[in-house]
Amino acid sequence: METFLVLASTLCISMGVFLGITGAIGIFRMPNFFARLHAASVTDSGCAFMLLFGLMLQSGFTLATIKLCFILLFFLISSPTAAHALAKTALSCGAQPTSSPREER
Amino acid sequence: MELIIDITLLTFLGLTALAINRIDKLFCIIMLSGIYSLLCASLFVSMDAVDVAFTEAAVGTGIATVLLLSTIGATDTQQRSAPQRPLFALLVVCATGAILVYGTMDMPAFGDPDAPIHHHVAPRYLEMSQQEVGSDNIVTSILSSYRGFDTLGETVVIFTAGLSVVGLIGFRGMQKFGDRQRAAGITQDDMGKHLVLRIVIKMFIPLILLFALYVQFHGDFGPGGGFQAGVIFASGFIFYTLMFGLDAAMRVVSPRTLSYIAALGVLTYGGVGITTLLMGGNFLDYNVLRPDPLQGQHLGIFLIELGVGTTVFSIMVLIFFAFSSRKGLRQ
Amino acid sequence: MNIGAHYNYWVAIFLMMTGFYVVITHGNLIKKLIGLNLFTTSVFILYISLAKVKGGTAPIIAPGIEVYSNPLPHVLILTAIVVGVATTAVGLALVLLIYDRYGTIEEDEIRLKDDSL
C-alpha cells in the first residue's frame, strides 16, 4: 500500500511537471493569443491539479490534506475564470481566434 | 537539493531584474515586477521564512501591482526617454558592486550555524518563547511581544504613509465622480458585462475575508498575523472595487470611516501600551494584563495584532481608493 | 572555494546594483520607483539569507524538531515589506501630482519645462 501511494504520487507529480513545462513552451511557441492562452490555462489548471493531487496522496489523512483540498478547489474555480476573463477581454478588444499562422505581436 | 532550488530561483530573480532594466513598456515592467515578487516569495519559503514569504506574496504581487497599474492608468504607459549616460552609470554600479562583493568575503558561509547572528539573542527567543510568551510561532512572539516597540513604530509609519497619500492626492472630484460617469454615458461600470467574473468574485470575496480572519487569529500557531491579514482583507475590498466600481465600494465603506478605523487601530496598539503602564508594568509589558502572565501575553498579542490588522487594512484600502479616484478623474 | 557558500549574497548584490542602475540611468519616474523596489527587495533577500541555518526549519515550534532558522531577521523584514509598499504608494502619489503639474513623467521633459518657466 505504502509503495503504491508513493508510486502514484510520483507519477502525478511528474505528470504535473510535464504539463507545466509543456505549458511554458506553449506560451512561447504558439502562434496567436488564444492558442497561447490555452497553453497558459493548461499550466494553470492541469499542472496545479496534478501537483496538488500528488502531494495529497503523499500527506495522507492529515490537516495538510484538507488544506491542499481547499487550495485545489480554489484553483479549479479561479483559473478557468481567469482564462475566461482574458479571452473575453481579448475578443472585445478585437483579437480574432483564427487558425492563421503567426499574428503580429 | 535545497541549494539547487535556491540557486535556480536566485538566477531567475537576476534575469527578471535584467529584463525590468531593458524593457521600456511600463505595463510589462509592472507584470515583471509582480513575477519578481512571486519569485522572491518562493525563495523566502525555501529559506524557511514562511511569514515573510506570505507577506511578500500578498503585498508585492497584490497591492503593489494594483497600485502601480492604477498609476500608469492615470499617467503614461510608455517610457519615452533613453537611458542617460549608461556607461558612466555602469562604471559606478560595477565599482560599488565590486566593493560590496569584496565585503562578502569576510561574511560567514550561507547557512552556517556558527555565524555570529545565530548566537546573540536568537537562541533565547527560540528557547524561552514558549515559556515566556506561549506562542508556537516565534516570529509572532518577537513581532508583538519581545519587539513590540518596533512594531508600534512600523504601524505608525504605515499610518503616516496613508495620511500622506490622502493628503497629497486626496479624493478630489470624488463627489462629482458619479455625475461625471453618468455624463460620459457609463451608467454601469465596464466590467459589468463579465457575468462569469462577477459571479465568481461574489463567491470568492467572503472566502477571502474569512481567510484573512483565519490568518489574523491563527498567527500564534502558524504563519500569519496582523500585517498579512490586513493586506488580505484589503485585497478582498480591492477585488470588489475593481469589479463593481469605486462608487459601489465607497458605499460599502466610506473613506471617512476608513480613516477612523485606521486611527482606531493605532490607538488600540498604543492604548494597550498605556494600559500596561497604568497597571504597573513597563510599556507593552503584557504580563500585567491578567493575573497569569501567559494569559496576559495572549490577550496583549491578540489586541495589538488586531490593531495592526485594522490599521494595515484601512490604510491599504484608503490608498487604493485615492489612486483609483484619480483614474476616474481622467476618464 | 565553495560557490554555494556566498552565492546568495552575490545575487543580492547583483540585484541591488541592477536596481541602483535603473534608478540612476532611467528618466521615467515610475521605472525609477520600480528600480528602488528592486533595491529594497535585494536587502530583504540579504537579511533572509543571513537568517538561514543549514538543516533548519521555519521558526514555528513543533515537537521533534531541533534546529530552527533565526526568526529575528524575519520579523524585521516582514514589517519592512509592508512599510515598503506604503512608502512606494507615497512615491506614486507624488508621481501623480508631478503628472498633473507637468503633463509628463519623464525627468528630462520636466527639467525642460522648469527651465522654460
| CB atoms C52 and B129 under 8 Å | no
Stronger pLDDT, B274 or A104, i.e. the higher one: B274
Nearest Cα to Cα of residue C31 among B315, B82, B235, B43: B82
B68 interaction partners in chain C (CB closer than 8 Å):
30, 33-34, 92
Series of mean pLDDT values for 10-residue runs along chain B (331 residues): 87 94 91 94 92 91 91 83 86 94 88 86 85 86 89 93 90 55 49 77 91 90 88 92 85 90 94 91 86 88 93 94 74 43
| CB atoms B196 and A85 under 8 Å | yes
Among the partner residues C11, C57, C88, nearest to B13 by beta-carbon distance: C11
The average pLDDT across C83-96 equals: 92
The average pLDDT across A67-79 equals: 89
Between positions 47 and 76 of C, the ones with CB within 8 A of B are: 48-62, 67-76
Nine-digit cell at A101? 499562422
Give the number of beta-carbon pairs within 8 Å between A and B.
16
User: What local confidence, expressed as pLDDT, does residue A99 receive?
Assistant: 64
A84 interaction partners in chain B (CB closer than 8 Å):
196-197
- Residue A30: count other Cβ atoms within 10 Å of its Cβ: 16
Q: Residue C3: pLDDT above 70?
A: no
The tens digit of pLDDT for each residue in A23-69 reads 999 988 888 888 888 888 888 888 888 999 898 888 878 888 898 99
| CB atoms C18 and B85 under 8 Å | no
- Percentage of residues in chain A with pLDDT exceeding 70? 92
Mean pLDDT over all residues of chain B?
87
* SS3 category, A11: helix
User: What local confidence, expressed as pLDDT, does residue B220 receive?
Assistant: 82
Among the partner residues B193, B194, B200, nearest to A77 by beta-carbon distance: B200
* SS3 category, C106: strand
The average pLDDT across C74-95 equals: 92
User: What local confidence, expressed as pLDDT, does residue B185 receive?
Assistant: 46
What does the H/E/C string look like for chain B?
CHHHHHHHHHHHHHHHHHHHHHCCEHHHHHHHHHHHHHHHHHHHHHCCCHHHHHHHHHHHHHHHHHHHHHHHHHCCCECCCCCCCHHHHHHHHHHHHHHHHHHHCCCCCCCCCCCHHHHCCHHHHHHHHHHHCCCCEHHHHHHHHHCHHHHHHHHHHHHHHHHHHHHHHCCCCHHHHHHHHHHCCCCCCHHHHCHHHHHHHHHHHHHHHHHHHHHHHCCCCCCCCHHHHHHHHHHHHHHHHHHHCHHHHHHHCCHHHHHHHHHHHHHHHHHHHHHHHHCCCCCCCHHHHCCCHHHHHHHHHHHHHHHHHHHHHHHHHHHHHHHHHHHHHHC
Among the partner residues B193, B200, B207, nearest to A81 by beta-carbon distance: B200
Give the number of beta-carbon pairs within 8 Å between B and C.
295
The tens digit of pLDDT for each residue in A31-41 reads 888 888 888 88
ipTM of the complex: 0.93
Tell me how far apart the alpha carbons of residues B285 and B133 are, in angstroms, rounded to a whole number: 11
Stronger pLDDT, C94 or C56, i.e. the higher one: C94
A92 interaction partners in chain B (CB closer than 8 Å):
193
User: What local confidence, expressed as pLDDT, does residue B186 receive?
Assistant: 47
The average pLDDT across A71-80 equals: 88
The average pLDDT across C34-40 equals: 93
CA distances from B139 to B48, B128, B135, C75 (A): 12, 13, 9, 6
| CB atoms A81 and B196 under 8 Å | yes
What are chain C's domains?
3-116 (1.10.287.3510)
User: What local confidence, expressed as pLDDT, does residue B19 receive?
Assistant: 94
Is the CB of B203 inside 8 Å of chain A's CB atoms? yes
